Amino acid sequence: MEKFCEDIGVEPENIIMLVLAWKLEAESMGFFTKEEWLKGMTSLQCDSTEKLQNKFDFLRSQLNDFSSFKNIYRYAFDFARDKDQRSLDIDTAKSMLALLLGRTWPLFSVFYQYLEQSKYRVMNKDQWYNVLEFSRTVHADLSNYDEDGAWVKVLQSNDGQAKENQNVVC
């Protein structure tokens, strides 16, 4: 994967690699199967490095389309998690959230700080999906945030015990 990224001139951590993985329907982070590669490159109509590089603007544009972004965001959870786990470890979740929401969500730095100081070690799929909804729904000044509303979450600690009444944004 490193050599591939070098060949196409993209850092492995670049969001374009996540969008490409989504387009290829890759199941695991870090490599593409031959089947994923052939099917994905055929759908992108790419048979060379140059043609793939010429698709970068198209791939980036998928992040600006609400429906596509939501699909990419949802895809990222399963793509990034260990396949033998149902949840995403918190460090990976923070990295993926930074990649997906860090540049566009005004409250991201506050939410990231919350995750940094949190004792929780995993994020489940429902929580992952709700972070996107929260980022799209609650205003940057929190003027429409309701402490007693739907944003009170159940977070899991690393011992698997449920902790209730933890607000997502402090």
- Report the topology of domain 1-64: Recoverin; domain 1 (1.10.238)
Tell me which of 19-23, 41-45, 60-64, 152-156 is least confident: 152-156
CA distances from 68 to 11, 73, 98, 162 (A): 22, 8, 18, 32
Average pLDDT, the chain: 87
Q: What is the pTM of this model?
A: 0.84
- Report the topology of domain 84-156: Recoverin; domain 1 (1.10.238)
Alpha helices in 55-144 (DSSP H): 56-61, 66-80, 90-101, 108-117, 125-137
Domain ranges of the chain: 1-64, 84-156
Note whether 1-64 and 84-156 share their fold: yes
Position 164 pLDDT exceeds 50: no
Residue bearing tokens 């033998």: 84
pLDDT tens track for 56-89: 999 999 999 999 999 999 999 999 999 899 999 9
Q: How confident is the model at residue 149 (pLDDT cuts 50, 70, 90)?
A: low
